[in-house]
């Protein structure tokens, strides 16, 4: 048995040695393969011939050097080679502004106009195409074009192009060379005016979409808007109601929803300081009584902005409304006969107007361009407050208030 145990022990040790030796050989083999793989990749990199990306990068560098040296012939050779022989739907050698500006600089106006005409067809490749590397070509091209700006436009004007082609090329170069802080700057407004003149002169132009969507940035108010505000003012009655109910100060609120130039709104006003007065004719006496009352008037209305200028607006409206005059509790206790006494509680016709000044929220944020703080003068007239003719008369209200009106903007195409 002892001999058998010794044999088992020696066999186990031999097995462990064999497994360890196999693992070492495997690691040495893997390391050798890895080293050979790295050597192959390094060799492949060293033998790699640069493709179109490197060709475009070096070509742009060569063109920039020639441009700075005023070597127009070399600029033209490199430009045409990159555009005609290297650039395709997968690789872009020049951005849109670079290509149009270089073409105008070199007097290749047909190419510049063709680039404009095909803008929307070619630009569909931009999201997936490999773009040029970041370099100093455009900053230097822009700087020099600005320096010779007048001469550049004079050469376009004297080019052998149609009047329409000259106009769109001039517009394009003005847009490219105009520095502006935002699309709502005065510089962009000037370009917008020239774009509108072009669209008016050439309503069927093939460049119409390009001018509207690429060069012009003009916004208009969205269809829907919402506003609310608070106000204070004065209300008074006419006819027999004026003899019984004095005028009174009011405070209130307004809410409105607008669609284009139509306005649908609600207004409500609570009256303070209204006095009731009257008399009761007896057999031998004429008893005069007086007291205080709470009042409320309001209504729903539909208006139309007949004037909607940049700084002010005028909105006539018509609607339905009502007025309620109720004696206060102390007066009712003194005169129990007035406990259930209410004046005016009927719904009737209402009309009036809103005249408002506009305090701008922001001139830089597109979504707030047509939003503002309205300072509003409101005049309303409610007909025949009491249809029972117990105290016939009308109600007029004049208020001054301030609020907030929110209306998004959208780009006009």
394 and 313 assigned to the same domain: yes
Residues in the chain: 413
Q: Are 142 and 274 members of one domain?
A: no
Neighbouring residues of 354: CB distance < 8 A, sequence distance ≥ 6:
303, 313, 314, 315, 317, 376, 377, 378
- Dump pLDDT digits (tens) for 339-377: 555 556 677 889 999 999 998 876 666 667 788 999 999
Residues 225 and 343 in one domain: yes
The SS3 call for residue 274 is strand
pLDDT in tens, 210-226: 998 888 888 788 889 99
Q: Is 372 in the same domain as 244?
A: yes
Q: What is the CA radius of gyration of the chain?
A: 42
Pick from 374, 373, 369, 372: nearest CA to 408: 369
Rounded-to-10 torsion of CA 203, 209, 215, 219: 90
230 and 168 in a common domain: no
Task: Indicate whether 180 belongs to any domain.
Answer: no
Q: Is the pLDDT of residue 286 over 80?
A: no
| Overall number of domains in the chain | 2
CATH code assigned at 351: 2.40.160.20
* Residue range 117-176, pLDDT digits in tens: 887 655 444 567 788 888 899 999 999 999 999 999 999 999 898 999 999 999 999 998
277 and 165 in a common domain:
no
Residue 292 has pLDDT above 90, yes or no: no
**207 or 42, which is more confident:** 207
pLDDT band with cut points at 50, 70 and 90 for residue 271:
confident
The 3-state DSSP class for residue 20 equals helix
- Least Cα distance to 358 among 368, 379, 372, 369 occurs for 372
* Same-domain check for residues 147 and 91: yes
**pLDDT beyond 80 at 289:** no
pLDDT band at 65 (very low <50, low <70, confident <90, very high): very high
Q: What pLDDT, on a 0 to 100 scale, did the predictor assign at position 26?
A: 60
pLDDT in tens, 246-260: 788 899 999 999 999
The pTM of the full predicted model, rounded to 2 decimals, is 0.62
Q: At residue 403, does pLDDT exceed 80? A: yes
Q: What is the pLDDT of residues 86-98, one digit of tens each?
A: 888 788 889 888 9
Which tops the pLDDT comparison, 37 or 197? 197
Same domain, 115 and 250: no
Lookup: tokens for 160: 């052998």
Distance from chain centroid for Cα 99: 30
Domain that holds residue 122: 52-174
d(CA 278, CA 216): 69
Residue with tokens 């441009």: 67
Residues 293, 325: Cα–Cα separation, whole Å: 6
Q: 3-class DSSP state for residue 69?
A: coil
Q: Quote the tokens at residue 204.
A: 């069927």
Please check whether residues 287 and 407 belong to one and the same domain.
yes
Span 96-108, pLDDT tens digits: 889 999 999 999 9
């Amino acid at each position: 048995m002892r001999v058998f145990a010794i044999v088992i022990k020696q066999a186990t040790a031999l097995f462990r040695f064999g497994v360890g030796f196999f693992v070492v050989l495997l690691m040495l083999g893997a390391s050798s393969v890895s080293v050979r793989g790295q050597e192959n990749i390094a060799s492949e990199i060293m033998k790699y011939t640069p493709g179109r990306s490197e060709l475009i990068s070096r070509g742009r560098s060569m063109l920039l050097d020639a441009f700075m040296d005023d070597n127009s012939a070399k600029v033209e050779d490199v430009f045409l080679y990159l555009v005609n022989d290297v650039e395709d739907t997968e690789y872009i050698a020049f951005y849109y502004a670079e290509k149009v500006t270089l073409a105008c600089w070199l007097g290749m106006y047909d190419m510049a106009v063709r680039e404009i005409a095909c803008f929307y067809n070619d630009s569909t490749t931009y999201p997936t195409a490999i773009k040029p590397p970041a370099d100093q070509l455009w900053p230097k091209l822009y700087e020099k074009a600005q320096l010779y700006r007048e001469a550049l436009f004079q050469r376009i004007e004297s080019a052998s192009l149609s009047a329409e082609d000259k106009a769109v090329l001039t517009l394009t170069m003005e847009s490219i060379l105009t520095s502006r802080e935002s699309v709502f700057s005065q510089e962009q407004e000037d370009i917008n005016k020239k774009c509108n003149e072009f669209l008016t002169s050439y309503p069927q132009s093939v460049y119409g979409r390009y001018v509207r969507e690429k060069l012009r940035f003009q916004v208009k108010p969205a269809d829907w808007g919402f506003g609310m505000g608070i106000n204070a003012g004065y209300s008074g009655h006419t006819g027999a109601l004026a003899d019984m109910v004095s005028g009174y100060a009011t405070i209130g609120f307004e809410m409105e929803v607008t669609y284009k130039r139509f306005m649908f709104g609600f207004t409500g006003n609570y009256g303070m300081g209204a006095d009731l007065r009257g008399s009761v004719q007896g057999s031998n006496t004429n008893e005069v009584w007086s007291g205080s009352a709470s009042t409320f008037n309001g209504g729903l209305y539909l208006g139309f902005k007949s004037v909607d200028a940049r700084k002010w607006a005028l909105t006539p409206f018509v609607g339905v409304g009502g007025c309620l005059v109720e004696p206060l509790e102390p007066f009712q206790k003194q005169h129990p006969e007035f406990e259930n006494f209410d004046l005016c509680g009927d719904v009737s016709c209402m009309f009036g107007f809103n005249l408002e000044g506009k305090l701008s929220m922001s001139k830089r944020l597109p979504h707030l361009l047509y939003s503002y703080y309205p300072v509003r003068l409101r005049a309303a007239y409610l007909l025949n407050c009491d249809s029972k003719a117990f105290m016939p008369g009308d109600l007029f209200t004049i208020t001054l208030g301030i609020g907030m009106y929110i209306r998004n903007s959208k780009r006009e195409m």
